[in-house]
Every structure is written in C-alpha cells, then in structure tokens.
A and B are shown apart, each in its own frame.
Chain A
Amino acid sequence: MAMALELLGVSKAFDGFQALAKANFAVEAGEVHALLGENGAGKSTLMNVAAGLYRPDQGRIRVRGREVDITGPVEARSLGIGMVHQHYKLVKAFNAVENILLAQGAARYGTGLAEVEAAIRAQGEAVGFAVDLKRPVGSLSVAEQQRVEILKVLVAGAGILILDEPTAVLTDREAEALLVTMRALARQGAAIVLVTHKLGEVQRHADRVTVMRGGRIVASADPASLSAAELTTLVVGATTPQERQPAIRIGGAVLSLQGLVGARSDGLRTLNGLTLTIRSGEIYGIAGVGGNGQTELAEILMGVRRAQDGRIVLAGDDVTETGPKPRRARGLAAIPADRQAYALAGDLSLAENYAVGGLASGRFGGWLRVDRAAIRARTEAAIAAFDIRGARSTRQKASLLSGGNAQKLVIAREFADSPRLVLAHSPARGLDVRATADIHRRLREARDAGAGVLLISEDLDEVMFMSDRIGVMSRGTIVGEFETPADRQAIGAAMVHHA
C-alpha cells in the first residue's frame, strides 16, 4: 500500500545552519507515527516542510504515492495535510468559527460562518470535543485553543494530521485524552504524526517511531520492540546513566522564610504563612500540584512581587523590603519558570542577555562606558563552558535559541558569580533528556560548591531525583517535610490530601 506521506532526502539550512540533512520519513494511513528527538533535532523543521511553511533546499515529497511540490500552506492543505503547530496559528481576537472560516475560506462571510459552524459541530461530535465557539480564542484555555486547531485541520478534511509537541502545554489528563482521540482518528483511517520528545507517549500511544538527531533520521522502528533505555540511546546518542547524588557537606542557613503571606495580581491570597529554611550545600525541593502558590513564592523570592506579611532572610540579612538588585548582590541567582518573560530579552543578542546579569559588578565597564570586548569574550567563554548549541555568534538574537540552550544561557549568566542561593523554578520544563541532565548537573555543582538550592517543580520525579530535602506545598504553606530518600507514596499523599 502506498504511504500517506513520504519525505525523501529532505535538506534545509538556515543561515548556513544545517537544520535537516537528507531526512527520510514516511507515515501510512491508520497509524500513529511518533517523530521523536531532542529539542533542535529538526523534527518541527521537517514537519514544517511537509506543511508547506518551509521550502526544502533539496528532497522530494510524495503524498499517497504521487510526487508533489508543496509550495505553500494552501497546497499542503489541498493535499489533505494539516498541521497543529506548537505555537498555535490562531487569530486571538477571532472566535473559533471565524478562525476556522479564515483557514477554510468561503465565497461569502455569512453563509461561510453557518457552514463552518455546522462542520465544527459534526466533527466535534465525531471526536468528542467541546469548544466554546463564541468567545475570542485568546480568552480560551490552552487546551481549548489546541482543540480549535485540531478542529481546524479536521474541518479542512485533513487525512494526514501532524501534531507538533501537542502535549507540552497540557496537563497529564488533557494529554491522555488528546492521545486517545488521536488513536481513534487513526482507527478511522487518518495518518497521524506525533512530534514529541517524551518517551512515555511514544511507548504508550505510537504504532511506529522515527527518531531524529542533529537533523538526521537515526532510526525507524516499532516502539514495542525497543526498551526505554534503547529509545533514550537513539535520541541522545549515548546513554548517560543517572544516579541520585546526595549532598556532600551541609552548612548553615542561607535562606529563611518566616510566615510569608502573598497574593496573586488579582488579589487572591496564595501564600498563607509559608515558613522554611534552606541550608548551604543542599537542594530543597518543593513538590506540589501547580497553583498552590509556587509561582507567587518564586516571584516574591526574586523580588518582583511584594510579600504582604512575613520575613525573608537571605544570607543573614533581612531582604523582605528590597527589590531584585540587593538580593542579587547578596548572592541570589534565579532560574524563572518562564524564561522568555523573566530571564531573557528575546530580541536582544546573546551577549547582551549574558552581560545584563553582571553589569552591577563593573566588570563590563562603568555607567559611562560599556566594555564590548569583555562582554563578547565572557559570552563566548560561557557558550563554550555551558555547551550552548545553535549559537552562531554572540550577536545572534536570544529568541533563536532552542528551549534547552536558552535555559543554559540563563544558567551561565546566573551562575557567573558563585551564587549563595539558587532559585530554580521548573528548570527542566519543556527540555529534552540531554538538556535536562545538563541542567540538573549544573544545579548539583552549584550545591556542591556551597550554594543552597530551592527547586520548585510540578514534576515529582524531578523533585525526588534532585532533592536532599523535600517540602510539600499545598494552599500556600509547607504541609510536610521529608528527608530523602523519601517515600514517593507518602509525598504524593501529602500533596493530594491537603489540596
């Protein structure tokens, strides 16, 4: 039987950077085909070629056995190829119907609206989706926006459905529901491409897996025939065994929070008298279901949100009333959860993003003069030392780095002055196996050099693996503390029972 979609020997370069090198990929109707690889392996680029967003430098594309030339998104759609992008291609001011009408096209607006609405209802019932059709999609939740995107390609009659990292933004339950839906669509005859870097999804939901690394295809196999370790090896090249490494030398307190009270911007109180102490040389992990005050805790610690009550003592000084600058001077380093919003200025260069952390130190010049040579030299050294890939020049925009490499840049900057307290909020979110291991190693190195590390994460496995002590956070307080190795069940129970 002819394959639904075949990409043969596809190459694509951006500014001399080879994103794809003679990649081959094929998916057949009725299967869920996982495209697995690290961040920056070329998965999205390859699929963007199939969806007509990128023109390949060379290579051929066949759809249902017929060779085609996909010159743009319109041709891709008319061939039945629909892609749900990582960054949704939705007009936020439009509601779901208008968005789908826009993609679908119609002779007349009024009749088009009615037709699209009917088609959405039919498709929505077929796949079991409920979406608010009247509200602007910008006001819908991420999961709902994703459903609008999926409905958009289904209404267009796509038989080849490409989903780019669809579960990255979803909760576990939403992700599970989505993947079950995809399986059902495949059973009805669709060809589903699931772009992902999560091994678990591949093993649970894919009929076939193609693994990419460095712009090349390294394997295509039945996931059931491979163990998790074998898959990991294919993805990262060589297995890096991970063992818990406990603290070496624990010292005195570097951070003490006493009765911290804080609220969200809308006034809702999310921290209710939180008290904890972090000592030098240890990693203190905060486990908890998201939305229990973790974000406000991180923001109050960074100094970008004020505490309503309580005290923050950092390295012996009360910093409750101060802003970020004096806290950083006392040795606070922060790795915020939203690196694009709080840690990086995407439109500025790598060098500028790196240097901004050290401006107060005077090593890059005083207030009248900026020592560009020193900035460039230090940035280049940091890029090499922290293995930041995809950096072709220190003048390149920070937003061009992939997630893992952007996080490495943040860490390189934050760790430049041997911090005494490291705040790491979901430091591995959205990162692949190798980048996660790198980030974790850096956190341990900081700890072993004498810093106290506060690790806030919704990923219990990460907290269990990294921490020397674990505090369970619920409704804005620490409801239980555990020495490691801790009992996963006991921690899980504490997380849920107080929620």
Chain B
Amino acid sequence: MSDFIVNWLANVPAFALPYALAALGLIITEKAGVLSLGAEGFLLVGAMSGIGVLLGIGDHPALALVVAAFSAALLSLVYALLVVTLRVNQVIGGLALVFLAQGMTGVIATRAGWTNRPVDGLQPVPLGGLGEVPVLGPILFQHDILVFAAVPLVALVAHVLGRTMFGLRLRAVGDGPDAADAAGIGVAATRYGAIALGAALVGLAGGYLSVGVAKIWVEGMSGGRGWIAVALVIFARWQPWRALAGALLFGGIEALIPRIAAIGVALPQYLVLMTPYLATLAVMIWICLRHDGTSLEPRALGIAHMREERR
C-alpha cells in the first residue's frame, strides 16, 4: 500500500504541472476580460513545436520549451486580432482557434515526420543523494526543473496581478474597461498583451506535455486538458494559488488512473476523468447558492470593448 501511495504522489507533479501552467496563463488572459477557450489549441501548438525543436534542431529541452511558449503566443495574436480588434464573439473565436490548431498541428507534424518519434526530452534535475532518500526522495526530489519552478511562478503571477501597477491595470481592463479607458489605459493593447502572455504559459504547458512528460508527439495529445484548465480557472475563481491547489487536485485524480490500473483494479476511467468537471460544476453551483455576489469573475469577461458607442 505504501508503495502505491509513494508511486502515486511521485507522479502527481507531472500530471498537475500542465494544469497549473495552463490555468495560470488563462487567469492572466481572463483577468484582462478576455475569455480564453482556445487553451486546447495553444497546448497542441506548444506540444508540437517543442518536439519540433528537439527533432529538428537538436536536444535542447530548454530551447524547446521557449519555442513552445513563443509559438503559442504567436498564434494567440490571431485570436487577439479576432476578438479584440475585430470584436468577434469570444466563444466562437476560441472554438475556431482550437479547430485551427488541431488541423494545423496535425498537418505540420505529419509533413515534418515528427509523429511517434520518441525524444530524450526534459530530464530530472540531478540532486544527488536527495533523490535516493526513501519515500520523500521520489515524491519531492526526482523532478525536472519546471516542477521546481512551479511554486515560485505561481507566487510571481499572484504578486504581479495583485500587487503591481501592471496587475492593477490588467485587472481594471477586465473588470471595468470603461474606467480603464477613462484612466488612459490602452484597453486593446493590454488585452493583446494579456492574451499573448497567457497563451505563452499555456504553450509552455503544452511543451511540457510533450517534452517533459510524454517525450513524444502524437496528434491530439493534449487530450482535453485545455478544457479541464478552462474549468479549473472557474474552479479556482481566477486566483493563482487556488489554481495551483486545483491543479494538484485534478492532477492527483488523473495520476490515480494508471496506478489503479497497475494494481489490477478495474475502475471505469471515464468516471475518474469526469471528476474535474463535476468538481467545477459543484463550485459554480456553490457560488450561485451563496448569493453574496462575490463571484470574483472579471465583470467584463467575454465582452468586447468599444469606446464611442453611445448609450
């Protein structure tokens, strides 16, 4: 039994990290008032371009992750153009982006011959004897650099959003774009920035999926994790630390599935995979029932901003 728990806990970070990174990215974008349903697409683009670097350029996992983030950010500018400049409905824009990314990554990876080719990818940080410590070693010290960077990154995002002028402006754009506009803040520019920055983090999450976890590219390998991240942001009510907690919860559930299968217990895995959505539904119902109006949802989320409209 203790082996089971150690194996499970040692696997949780790898499952939780993509959720945490993607949710952080979505929080940044959505705090600026832009709904981001395109996460699934950014994950795919990040995952594919990361593998592309490893196979095409060479074994540089760090470069692969940077390119993963960068290419998702680049694609997100198309989304920003659609929903900020052209004021396309953000739900439709987000869905369109997912389908675009699915098709695009499929075509590019197939043409380039990147599919189903294993890579070395990101390796655990060598911590010498620490990793050999029984129980705690595998759980805490046999991880790659991104796992160790996760907590400082959450702290950084929480600080920037909550305790800096940049964060204040970004949140103002998401909560009261008219007020932000009147204060001389460029609403469109802020939203472009928030979309690109958020997409970069989601792309990094995608890169981690392929370069850090699977160490291979398979078409559609994000497997719906982008949608779970969207739900996770609602679950976390747009707060970075809660998003990390939610990512650990959802990642923990997901990490259970192979462990349970490994000890030969037949558990319907689809039931387990449903739990993040059920948890999110429960949180949304709970928020509605509380009736105190503190949903914490950015008030202008999903609403395009237009200055000279006369009311």
Chain B, residues 105-148, CB within 8 Å of chain A (1/0): the string is 00000000000000000000000000000000000000000000
Check: B171 CB closer than 8 A to any chain A CB: yes
Check: B252 CB closer than 8 A to any chain A CB: no
With a cutoff of 8 Å between Cβ atoms, the chain B residues found around residue A109 in the complex are 163-165, 167-168
Q: Do the beta carbons of A91 and B175 come within 8 Å of each other?
A: yes
Give A90 to B180 CA distance when docked, in angstroms: 8
With a cutoff of 8 Å between Cβ atoms, the chain A residues found around residue B169 in the complex are 102
Q: Do the beta carbons of B175 and A93 come within 8 Å of each other?
A: yes
Check: B149 CB closer than 8 A to any chain A CB: no
Q: Do the beta carbons of A94 and B163 come within 8 Å of each other?
A: no
Q: Do the beta carbons of B171 and A112 come within 8 Å of each other?
A: no
Chain B, residues 168-204, CB within 8 Å of chain A (1/0): the string is 1101100110111111110000000000000000000
Give A67 to B182 CA distance when docked, in angstroms: 22
Give A400 to B311 CA distance when docked, in angstroms: 5
Chain A, residues 98-135, CB within 8 Å of chain B (1/0): the string is 11011101111110100000000000000000000000
Q: Do the beta carbons of A87 and B178 come within 8 Å of each other?
A: yes
Contact of A91 among B171, B184, B296 (CB under 8 A): B171
With a cutoff of 8 Å between Cβ atoms, the chain A residues found around residue B290 in the complex are none
Give A154 to B179 CA distance when docked, in angstroms: 16
With a cutoff of 8 Å between Cβ atoms, the chain B residues found around residue A216 in the complex are none
Closest to B159 in A: A109
Check: B299 CB closer than 8 A to any chain A CB: yes
With a cutoff of 8 Å between Cβ atoms, the chain A residues found around residue B299 in the complex are 92-93
Q: Do the beta carbons of B182 and A112 come within 8 Å of each other?
A: no
Give A399 to B308 CA distance when docked, in angstroms: 14
Q: In the complex, how many angstroms separate the beta carbon of A169 from the nearest chain B beta carbon?
A: 15
Q: Do the beta carbons of A106 and B176 come within 8 Å of each other?
A: no
Q: Do the beta carbons of A110 and B163 come within 8 Å of each other?
A: yes
Task: Pick from A70-78, A180-188, A250-258, A293-301 the stretch touching chain B.
Answer: A70-78
Q: In the complex, how many angstroms separate the beta carbon of B161 from the nearest chain A beta carbon?
A: 11
With a cutoff of 8 Å between Cβ atoms, the chain B residues found around residue A85 in the complex are 182
Given contacts A73-B181, A89-B183, contact A102 B175 (CB under 8 A): no
Give A400 to B308 CA distance when docked, in angstroms: 12
Closest to B182 in A: A89
Chain A, residues 37-70, CB within 8 Å of chain B (1/0): the string is 0000000000000000110000000000000000
With a cutoff of 8 Å between Cβ atoms, the chain A residues found around residue B310 in the complex are 14, 400
Give A93 to B168 CA distance when docked, in angstroms: 11
Give A54 to B308 CA distance when docked, in angstroms: 7
With a cutoff of 8 Å between Cβ atoms, the chain A residues found around residue B180 in the complex are 91, 102
Contact of A90 among B163, B179, B184, B296 (CB under 8 A): B179
Contact of B165 among A74, A92, A106 (CB under 8 A): A106
With a cutoff of 8 Å between Cβ atoms, the chain B residues found around residue A93 in the complex are 171, 175-176, 296, 298-299
Q: Do the beta carbons of A72 and B184 come within 8 Å of each other?
A: yes
With a cutoff of 8 Å between Cβ atoms, the chain B residues found around residue A99 in the complex are 179
Q: Do the beta carbons of B165 and A91 come within 8 Å of each other?
A: no
Interface size on B, residues (CB 8 A): 25
Give A193 to B163 CA distance when docked, in angstroms: 36
Q: Do the beta carbons of A103 and B182 come within 8 Å of each other?
A: yes
Q: Do the beta carbons of B176 and A91 come within 8 Å of each other?
A: yes
Q: Do the beta carbons of A53 and B182 come within 8 Å of each other?
A: yes
Chain A, residues 414-432, CB within 8 Å of chain B (1/0): the string is 0000000000000000000
With a cutoff of 8 Å between Cβ atoms, the chain B residues found around residue A94 in the complex are 168, 171-172, 175-176
Contact of A107 among B165, B178, B179 (CB under 8 A): B165
Q: Do the beta carbons of B172 and A91 come within 8 Å of each other?
A: yes
Contact of A89 among B167, B171, B178, B296 (CB under 8 A): B178
Q: Do the beta carbons of A87 and B163 come within 8 Å of each other?
A: no
Given contacts A103-B183, A107-B165, contact A92 B176 (CB under 8 A): yes
Q: Do the beta carbons of B184 and A77 come within 8 Å of each other?
A: yes
Q: In the complex, how many angstroms separate the beta carbon of B79 from the nearest chain A beta carbon?
A: 24
Chain B, residues 227-265, CB within 8 Å of chain A (1/0): the string is 000000000000000000000000000000000000000
Most chain-A Cβ atoms within 10 A of its Cβ — which of B172, B175, B182, B307? B182
Q: Do the beta carbons of B308 and A91 come within 8 Å of each other?
A: no
With a cutoff of 8 Å between Cβ atoms, the chain A residues found around residue B184 in the complex are 72-74, 77, 103, 105
With a cutoff of 8 Å between Cβ atoms, the chain A residues found around residue B181 in the complex are 73, 89
Q: Do the beta carbons of B183 and A102 come within 8 Å of each other?
A: yes
Closest to A136 in B: B294
Q: In the complex, how many angstroms separate the beta carbon of A390 from the nearest chain B beta carbon?
A: 9
Most chain-A Cβ atoms within 10 A of its Cβ — which of B171, B178, B183, B185? B183
Contact of A73 among B163, B182, B311 (CB under 8 A): B182
With a cutoff of 8 Å between Cβ atoms, the chain B residues found around residue A74 in the complex are 184
With a cutoff of 8 Å between Cβ atoms, the chain A residues found around residue B176 in the complex are 89-94
With a cutoff of 8 Å between Cβ atoms, the chain B residues found around residue A89 in the complex are 176, 178-179, 181-183
Give A94 to B172 CA distance when docked, in angstroms: 8
Give A94 to B167 CA distance when docked, in angstroms: 12
With a cutoff of 8 Å between Cβ atoms, the chain B residues found around residue A103 in the complex are 182-184
Closest to B297 in A: A93
Give A384 to B308 CA distance when docked, in angstroms: 27
Q: In the complex, how many angstroms separate the beta carbon of B90 from the nearest chain A beta carbon?
A: 16
Closest to B162 in A: A109
Give A89 to B175 CA distance when docked, in angstroms: 11
With a cutoff of 8 Å between Cβ atoms, the chain B residues found around residue A101 in the complex are 165, 168
Q: In the complex, how many angstroms separate the beta carbon of A40 from the nearest chain B beta carbon?
A: 10
With a cutoff of 8 Å between Cβ atoms, the chain B residues found around residue A92 in the complex are 175-176, 299
A residues with a Cβ closer than 8 A to B are 14, 53-54, 72-74, 77, 85, 87-94, 98-99, 101-103, 105-110, 112, 399-400
Q: List 18 A-B contacts (CB under 8 A).
A: A14-B308, A73-B183, A89-B176, A89-B179, A91-B172, A92-B175, A93-B175, A93-B176, A102-B168, A102-B172, A103-B182, A103-B183, A103-B184, A105-B184, A107-B165, A109-B165, A399-B311, A400-B311
Q: Which 7 A-B pairs have the closest CB atoms?
A: A74-B184, A91-B176, A89-B182, A89-B179, A103-B183, A93-B175, A91-B175
Apart from A87-B311, A91-B180, what are 16 other A-B pairs with CB-CB below 8 Å? A14-B310, A73-B181, A77-B184, A89-B182, A89-B183, A90-B176, A91-B171, A92-B299, A93-B175, A93-B299, A101-B165, A102-B183, A103-B183, A107-B165, A108-B164, A110-B163
